[in-house]
Every structure is written in C-alpha cells, then in structure tokens.
Amino acid sequence: MSTMISVDEFQAEAREWIAANKPHAPRDYGAICPPDLVEHGLDWHRRLHANGYAGIHWPEEYGGRGLTPDHNAAWGYECAVAGVPAIFNMVGLVLAGQAVQKFGTPEQKALHLRATLDTTHVWCQLFSEPGAGSDLGGLTTKAERDGDHFVVNGQKVWCSGGRYSNWGILMARTDPDAQGLARKHDGISFFLCPMDLPGIEVRPLKQMTGEAEFDEVFFTDVQLPADCLLGPLHGGWGVGMAVLTNERGHIGTSVIGLERRLESMAKLAEGRELTAQQRQRLVQLISKGTAYKAMAQRQGPIASTAASLLKLGITEMMFESAMLRADIAGPDAMLDGPEAFGMLQAPGGRIAGGTSQVQRNIIGERLLGLPREPKG
Ligand SMILES: Cc1cc2nc3c(=O)[nH]c(=O)nc-3n(C[C@H](O)[C@H](O)[C@H](O)COP(=O)(O)OP(=O)(O)OC[C@H]3O[C@@H](n4cnc5c(N)ncnc54)[C@H](O)[C@@H]3O)c2cc1C
C-alpha cells in the first residue's frame, strides 16, 4: 500500500515546481480569469494539470491526485506567495466540480469531472438576476418540463466569464406554484447547462474599472435536456446553498493574498512621511490581517457557516486597504494607475458571493443566535 506524501513534502515540491515554472504563468488574476488573459490562463492551467496540480484533493477516480484539502491549501499558499494563479476556472473546480461530486449521477460525474479538471469544460455561474441577487430565492427564470427537456426563459446577470465558458451552473424555477414567501425556495432546480444551446445570448457588461468581466445572459425558449438536472427536481436550493458556501470558503481562504497585499502596502509606505492617522490605519489593517489568518488556520480549508466570517472580514479589509493605498499615494491615485484601479475594483469583493450585509445577517442569525430578520 502506498503512503500519502506529507503536506510538508508536497509543499516543498510545489514551491520548487512553481519557482521553475513561474515564467510561464500569467499575472495573478485571483479567482476569475479576466477575458484578456484567457489563452494564457488556459495554457497555465494545462501545465498545472499535466503536473498534478489541478484537483489536488479530488479523488483519483475523478482524475484528481487523491490528496487532502490541507495539501490543496498548501498549494494555494505557495501560489499566493509566488504571485501566480492557483487555478484557471474557480467556478469549474470549486463550485461546479464539487457540486457534481456531491449531487451528480454516475453519468454526470463521468461527463464532467475529468473534463472540468483539464478545462475541456469551462464553467460560469448563472444565479443572479436583475431582481434576485441577495434574495436569490426570488429568482424568476423559468425551466418548464416538456417531454425529455426543460424549456428555459429568463435573464441572468453579473455572470463572470460567461463569454468564454462552455458550461454554466444554472438555478431556475421549475415549480411556479411555490412562489409564496414561505415556500419560494422549494420550487427551484439546479442545472448543468451547455452554453451553446440555441436561444442563449451572452452580452458583455462594462464595469467602472473600464473592463468587461461580466455578462448578462438571456434565455429564450432554450431546450435544456432533462438529464442536465443536478440533484432533485424542485430541490435545487440545497444544491445552490452548498455551492455558495464553497464559494465563500474559497474567497475566505484568499487571506494569504491579503497578507501579500499588506506587505506590499507596508513597502509603499517606505521612504514616505505617513501621517499619524495613516500609520494607525496601516497598523490596524495589519493586525486584522494577522487575526484573520489565525482564524482561517483554525477553520481549516473546509467551508462552513464560519466561511461568512472570513468572507466578510477579508473583503472588507481589502476594501479598506485599497482606500488607504490610494490615500498614501496621494492625489495621483485619482487619475490612473494601480491605486485608482484598486479603488474601483475593491467594492466588487464586498458584493460577490453574497454582500457584506447579507454575511452579517448570516453571522447574526446562525452563529450568534439573534432573532431572524423579518420577512416580507
Ligand atoms: C465581482 C462580482 C462577481 C460576480 N459574479 C457572479 C457570477 O459569476 N454569477 C452570478 O450569478 N452572480 C455574480 N455576481 C452577483 C452577486 O452575487 C450579486 O451582485 C450579489 O448577490 C448581490 O445582489 P444584487 O447585486 O442584486 O444586490 P441586491 O441584492 O439588490 O442588494 C442591494 C443592497 O441591499 C443590501 N441588502 C439586500 N438584502 C439585504 C438584507 N436582507 N439585509 C440587509 N441588506 C440587504 C445589499 O447588501 C446591497 O447593499 C457577482 C458580483 C460581483 C460584484
């Protein structure tokens, strides 16, 4: 029986491999690859896959390396320290891949898991709608059963990477009668949707950084094969919530990236006269960063309700750090360059994967046991 490589040994091996291969890596784009880096990101991911660094903690039967979440976290750490992307398709490997492992039929696992690891299938997330973001249970995109397929009509929005994805995880309403306040979560189903079906139209959305990383996705009489349903009919809420918890957990583990940001901010302050107030803000941020790092290490790499604590803390801190960075850089930061870009990009982190206010509600209700917020 072969023994598993220890986390320390694996980490040392990964560090060496990254150092040797770093010249091939695109710049570190975080969780979602922007459209202009897709080819480079795909090349990088294929290199990771060929060398056993994609699906590190996925079972070997699905094409993974069969190691533990701790090994995977060590990989994320080494990539963050080296400033290279750890993954090309977060939605595929973290959200869709884990949902298929947990809820998929043997056929769905065979179709998607290896193909997701090697990026034959690149995924986007089709959850939010113009009238349903925080209140995802209010979504109105419909999927009506008609023989061996569902007919999908509706609109999704804020879909990261929609243009370059060939599959999407889609939440749609399959039971139009379950719309009352008490029951609305019951009538939703979760689908694995090919993005090339006739009737799907993807339109880029320009954001305030000047980039267009998101898309609106329109569905008009799309015939979605019935075997694209993942998990129980009308029971997609549970699948979606498992996916969102994984997403928050993933955002929360970006604590390492934050540590690097704080280090680079401390360097920005070198050789400058900081005001007492700026010094104090900087020290506060570094202290918070250290506390969140300790919390992330205690939580471990498995996502849970506590993922909301880290998601909230870290994205709020990234926002504050972008503001301080701009403040230290002075009036030039209002014009152009990395500080201006950081300021315009930082608010998105407080919204993606569930807003800060929503995380506070979750923490209040589920961790602190406060009364639930009134509905209606
Ligand atoms: C960078 C980024 C990437 C994203 N990628 C995707 C993606 O790939 N796929 C996808 O489906 N979606 C994606 N989204 C969308 C994201 O999930 C939604 O924007 C988010 O859930 C908030 O929904 P909303 O924009 O409709 O805001 P709303 O829900 O309308 O919220 C508006 C404001 O009201 C507050 N609010 C709402 N409800 C409550 C409440 N109960 N208590 C207190 N305050 C409340 C919110 O905090 C917010 O400040 C992305 C968003 C961003 C910023």
What pLDDT, on a 0 to 100 scale, did the predictor assign at position 177?
Answer: 81
Pocket of ligand 1 (CB under 6 A): 124-128, 133-134, 158-160, 348, 351-352, 354-355, 357-358, 361, 373
Residue 338 has pLDDT above 90, yes or no: no
Residue type, 201: E
Tens digits of per-residue pLDDT, 169-211?
Answer: 999 999 988 766 567 788 999 999 999 999 999 999 998 888 8
Of 222-236, 319-333, 349-363, highest mean pLDDT = 222-236
Cα–Cα distance between 366 and 358 in angstroms, integer? 12
The domain covering 123-235 belongs, at the CATH homologous superfamily level, to Butyryl-CoA Dehydrogenase, subunit A, domain 2 (2.40.110.10)
Band of the pLDDT at 6, cuts 50, 70, 90? Answer: very high
Protein residue with least CA distance to atom 7, ligand 1: 159
Q: Torsion-angle region of residue 266: left (phi > 0), alpha (psi -120 to 50) or beta?
A: alpha
What pLDDT, on a 0 to 100 scale, did the predictor assign at position 302?
Answer: 46
Residue 271 has pLDDT above 90, yes or no: no
Ligand 1 centroid from CA 132, angstroms: 8
Kindly state the average pLDDT of the residues 318-335. Answer: 86
What pLDDT, on a 0 to 100 scale, did the predictor assign at position 301?
Answer: 46
Kindly state the average pLDDT of the residues 51-66. Answer: 96
Say which residue, 5 or 325, is predicted with more confidence: 5
Cα–Cα distance between 309 and 299 in angstroms, integer? 10
What pLDDT, on a 0 to 100 scale, did the predictor assign at position 164?
Answer: 96
Cα–Cα distance between 191 and 234 in angstroms, integer? 11
Question: Hey, what's the torsion of the CAs at 325, 327, 332, 334, to 10 degrees?
Answer: 90
Four-way CATH pick for 7-88: 1.10.540.10, 1.10.10.10, 1.20.1730.10, 3.40.30.10: 1.10.540.10
| Catalytic member of 78, 213, 247, 339 | 247
Domain(s) labelled CATH 1.20.140.10 in the chain stretch across: 253-367
Which of 132-141, 170-179, 200-209, 295-304 is predicted least confidently?
295-304
Cα–Cα distance between 276 and 278 in angstroms, integer? 6
Residue type, 178: A
Of 77-86, 162-171, 356-365, highest mean pLDDT = 162-171
Four-way CATH pick for 253-367: 1.20.140.10, 3.90.650.10, 3.40.250.10, 1.10.3720.10: 1.20.140.10
Ligand 1 centroid from CA 130, angstroms: 10
Ligand 1 mutation pick, 33, 124, 134, 207, max ligand atoms within 8 A of CB: 134
Q: Are 46 and 119 in contact (CB under 8 A)?
A: yes
What pLDDT, on a 0 to 100 scale, did the predictor assign at position 178?
Answer: 76
What mean pLDDT value characterizes the chain? 89
What pLDDT, on a 0 to 100 scale, did the predictor assign at position 130?
Answer: 96
Kindly state the average pLDDT of the residues 251-269. Answer: 66
Q: Are 165 and 124 in contact (CB under 8 A)?
A: yes
SS3 182: coil
SS3 227: helix
Summary count for the chain: helices (H), strands (E):
12, 8
- Is 78 considered catalytic here? no
What DSSP element (H or E) covers 218? strand 214-225
Residue 2 has pLDDT above 70, yes or no: no
What pLDDT, on a 0 to 100 scale, did the predictor assign at position 163?
Answer: 95
Ligand 1 centroid from CA 355, angstroms: 5
Tens digits of per-residue pLDDT, 78-126?
Answer: 898 888 999 999 999 999 999 999 999 999 999 999 999 999 999 999 9
What pLDDT, on a 0 to 100 scale, did the predictor assign at position 371?
Answer: 93
Domain(s) labelled CATH 2.40.110.10 in the chain stretch across: 123-235
What pLDDT, on a 0 to 100 scale, did the predictor assign at position 250?
Answer: 67
Domain(s) labelled CATH 1.10.540.10 in the chain stretch across: 7-88
